[in-house]
């Protein structure tokens, strides 16, 4: 495995992780201490806004490749205190390797979190109880029609919210504090008042916080972000609806960070 720095900005350092079979994924070091790692080469979920899954899934990363991303960044001198499995890939589709990685992080006093589109639901149920430090579930829609467009091969909103409605009351208060929903605002795709109202109606009974992400397009993106004014308006609208809402941090707004911006290259030794 080899690490190549491909971008640097005020808060972030972005790396291409060259794997031994010729495939590559990306990792981002946020604010010098938080590492976002990839869990698969590509992704099968196919989110419409996401560069990571644009070419489908090639393969899952091995446990050694997951840990190798952390080791390689630490070898550059970074003191990593938090990791998030939120880069290329759906972590729940590489469940065993990601679980082992998360447990090893905790054993080494590195706080692990992950971001998932929520499926398979049986895995989500398992992750609600596993000892992570944060689980963010990407929702990105208020209606099934939009969910199907935004997260085509993720679970439906009905399946997701039924699961959370049943499972969250079984969780302790401290476990529930580690769970959040995510809504990535994409212009013309999921930013209408009706869509947001529908999302708020589903999310409110759960009582979990919502991360409202600003979209950070890459050159190949088919979508555009909403304006800053609209982003702030939606933030206010969701809060007014009774939700606890967190805005994107500056590090995630930068060109080298942000949901769905990391790239995967399939195996191509000869390319």
Q: Interface residues with ligand SF4 (CB under 6 A)?
A: 43, 45-47, 50, 52-53, 88-90, 117, 260
User: In the complex with ligand SF4, which residue's Cβ is closer, 63 or 152?
Assistant: 152
- Shortest separation between residue 159's beta carbon and ligand SF4, angstroms: 16
- Shortest separation between residue 15's beta carbon and ligand SF4, angstroms: 17
Instruction: State both tokens at 111.
Output: 């706080």
Closest residue by Cα to residue 18 from 57, 54, 72: 72
Instruction: State both tokens at 103.
Output: 């447990």
Closest residue by Cα to residue 176 from 188, 167, 186: 167
User: In the complex with ligand SF4, which residue's Cβ is closer, 199 or 207?
Assistant: 199
User: In the complex with ligand SF4, which residue's Cβ is closer, 7 or 152?
Assistant: 152
96 has which bridge partners?
A: none
User: In the complex with ligand SF4, which residue's Cβ is closer, 46 or 155?
Assistant: 46
- Shortest separation between residue 68's beta carbon and ligand SF4, angstroms: 19
Rounded CA-CA distance 245/247 in Å is: 7
Rounded CA-CA distance 54/269 in Å is: 20
User: In the complex with ligand SF4, which residue's Cβ is closer, 32 or 134?
Assistant: 134
- Shortest separation between residue 232's beta carbon and ligand SF4, angstroms: 24
Q: Which residue has the tokens 């979508």?
A: 223
Rounded CA-CA distance 145/85 in Å is: 27
Closest residue by Cα to residue 188 from 135, 250, 146, 248: 146
5 has which bridge partners?
A: 15
- Shortest separation between residue 127's beta carbon and ligand SF4, angstroms: 14
């Amino acid at each position: 495995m080899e690490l190549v720095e491909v971008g640097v900005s005020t808060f972030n350092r972005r790396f291409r992780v060259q794997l031994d079979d010729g495939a590559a994924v990306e990792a981002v070091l946020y604010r010098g201490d938080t590492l976002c790692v990839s869990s698969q080469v590509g992704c099968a979920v196919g989110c419409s806004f996401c560069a990571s899954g644009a070419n489908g899934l090639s393969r899952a990363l091995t446990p050694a490749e997951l840990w190798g991303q952390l080791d390689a960044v630490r070898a550059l001198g970074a003191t990593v205190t938090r990791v998030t499995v939120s880069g290329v890939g759906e972590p729940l589709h590489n469940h065993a390797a990601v679980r082992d990685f998360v447990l090893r992080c905790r054993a080494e006093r590195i706080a692990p979190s992950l971001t998932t589109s929520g499926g398979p639901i049986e895995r989500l149920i398992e992750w609600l109880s596993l000892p992570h430090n944060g689980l963010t579930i990407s929702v990105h829609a208020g209606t099934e029609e939009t969910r199907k467009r935004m997260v085509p091969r993720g679970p439906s909103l009905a399946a997701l919210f039924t699961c959370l409605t049943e499972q969250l009351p079984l969780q302790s208060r401290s476990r529930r504090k580690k769970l959040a929903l995510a809504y990535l605002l994409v212009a013309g795709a999921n930013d209408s008042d009706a869509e947001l109202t529908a999302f708020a109606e589903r999310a409110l009974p759960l009582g979990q916080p919502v991360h409202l992400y600003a979209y950070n397009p890459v050159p190949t993106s088919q979508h555009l972000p909403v304006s800053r004014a609209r982003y702030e308006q939606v933030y206010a609208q969701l809060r007014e609806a009774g939700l606890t809402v967190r805005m994107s941090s500056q590090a995630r707004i930068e060109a080298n960070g942000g949901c769905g911006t990391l790239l995967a290259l399939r195996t191509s030794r000869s390319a």
